[in-house]
Amino acid sequence: MVGERFTNQMGVCLQGTDRITSLPTELVNKILTLVPIRDVVRTSALSRKWRYKWMYIPEIVFDARSIPPSIQEQRNLADSVNHVLSLHYGRLNKFGMSGYLVSSCNDVDRWILLLCRKSVKMIILDFPQGDRYKVPSSLFSCQKLELLKLHCSILNLPSHAKCFENLVDLDLCQVTLTNETIARLMVNCPLQKLILTYCDGFTRLNICAPNLIIFVLCSPCGSIYFDNTPQLRSANIEMLPLVSEASLPDQITNRLDVRLTGLINVQELYICKNFMEILAAHVIPERLCFTYHILTTMSLVMNFANPKQNSTALCLFRSSPYLLSLCVTSVSSGQITLLDDDNIWEPIPDEEIIFARLKNMVLNGFMGSQHEASFVQFVLRSAVMLHTIRITWDATVEKGTKRMDTLEDMMQFCRASPRARVIFSG
């Protein structure tokens, strides 16, 4: 009986193995892509049927899960990648290397050549901090490439090179590239998503990308202009200061309408400190010559002591009647002090309903100034459908009398929405 039971148990086990082995190749490959590459290679020891399956997987990713300490030494790691790529057959959809190779590793150039021959669709190269890896021109031969993520690299598009015809997702972090390279990539690639994080080497951006849907900028830049972006739905613009003082000032236009017209179809708009300063340097109308009909989420970083930034914000609010969510972060530069007589939030008549649909607002970095309080009062009396205002005190404001006095004053503000609540934290 014991032997029979053992046989039955073995039979069940073998039957379970057969079920996995007999699965369609596409499904087996999908399962293998969820397993670290070192374990995928080990499946070759399971049986004859599994000996070569790993050689046809569509994705090869070397990351923290895949690289044991024994091969993290540069030469061992490079040899391991060479071994896997040299034995791989067929096309490869995705190749990734995260955080272990130094930029001086010559093997990477050879891998890129191999990836081009395999019609790779996604490449992720994440180099650690230090000297940046100079991407070879052979990368631009990967014409099937749809996604490219680079970290700590130098990307230069040669004049004779052809741009990526199928690239829709470009994510660059700490990458050096010229004005000409980024301009050609945007114009000649069907980009739908562009992320530039702590990149350098360029001083201006002319966003001409008719297919672009998501744009994120957190890099030094002196000028930005949205020329042809009819599909853009989410824009996060954080222009860090340029290191070079010799960069030319932004002289594209002095009209706020012209500067923002390329963002007319956004649903989410995030304007950070430096871009807000650039916008505030324009001629500010009462409202834009166009209306943001589908803009529902807005985030601003602004200085309430700066009258031009207040006027810019008010212009944006008047031009965004369908806004549902608003986040404002208060910052102070110490350069401009707004006099009480210049407070633009107080004289706005009550009958002007600016926030007709606003439901939630967040105010961060609250210092308790009169101008900040006037802004909150303005929102409360303008937002007829408001649910919640969440206010976070700046860490520099000590708990005590000032906070309590400000809180008591603000609790007396009239509210257009009977459901409106003001919640303090921090």
Contacts of residue 373, defined as CB under 8 A and 6 or more positions apart, other chains included, come to: 406, 409, 410
Compute how many other C-beta atoms are within 10 angstroms of the C-beta atom of residue 294.
13
pLDDT at 18 over 70: no
What does the mean pLDDT of the chain come to?
Answer: 83
Query: pLDDT value at position 409?
Result: 85
pLDDT digits (tens, 9 = 90+) for 284-319: 999 999 999 999 999 999 999 999 999 999 999 999
Return the pLDDT at 57: 77
pLDDT of 139: 93
Q: Give pLDDT tens digits for 244-281.
A: 644 444 555 678 888 888 899 999 999 998 899 989 98
Whether 145 shows a pLDDT value over 80: the answer reads yes
Query: For position 15, what pLDDT does the model report?
Result: 46
Rounded to a whole number, what is the distance in angstroms from the first to the last CA of the chain?
70
3-state class percentages of the chain: helix first, strand second, coil last, to nearest 5? 35, 25, 45
- Ranges 3-7, 48-52, 75-79, 118-122, most confident: 118-122
- CATH of 253-426, picked from 2.70.98, 3.30.160, 1.10.4160, 3.80.10, is 3.80.10
**Maximum pairwise Cα distance, the chain:** 97
Q: How confident is the model at residue 327 (pLDDT cuts 50, 70, 90)?
A: very high
The alpha carbons of the chain give a radius of gyration, in whole angstroms, of 28
Output the pLDDT for position 399.
84
What the block records as the tokens of 170 is 């470009």
Give 1's pLDDT tier (boundaries 50, 70, 90).
Answer: very low
Two tokens at 331? 């910052």
Of 112, 217, 195, 201, residue with least CA distance to 154 = 201
Q: Which of the two residues, 273 and 5, has the higher pLDDT score?
A: 273
pLDDT of residue 47: 60
pLDDT of res. 14 = 43
CA distance linking residue 101 with residue 108, whole number of Å = 9
The stretch 48-72 carries a mean pLDDT of 67
Per-residue pLDDT tens over the stretch 159-177: 888 889 999 999 999 999 9
| pLDDT band at residue 16 using 50, 70 and 90 as cut-offs | very low
Instruction: Report whether 343 contacts 372 (CB < 8 A).
Output: no
Q: How confident is the model at residue 237, as a pLDDT?
A: 96
Average pLDDT on 193-218 reads 95
Given a cut of 70, whether residue 386 has pLDDT beyond it is: yes
Q: Which pLDDT score, from 0 to 100, does residue 29 have?
A: 66
pLDDT of residue 6: 37
d(CA 406, CA 374): 11
Least confident of 39-43, 172-176, 210-214, 228-232: 39-43
Closest CA to 130 of 149, 104, 96: 104
How many other C-beta atoms lie within 10 A of the C-beta of residue 112?
21
**HSE (side-chain half, CA atoms, 13 Å) at 338:** 22
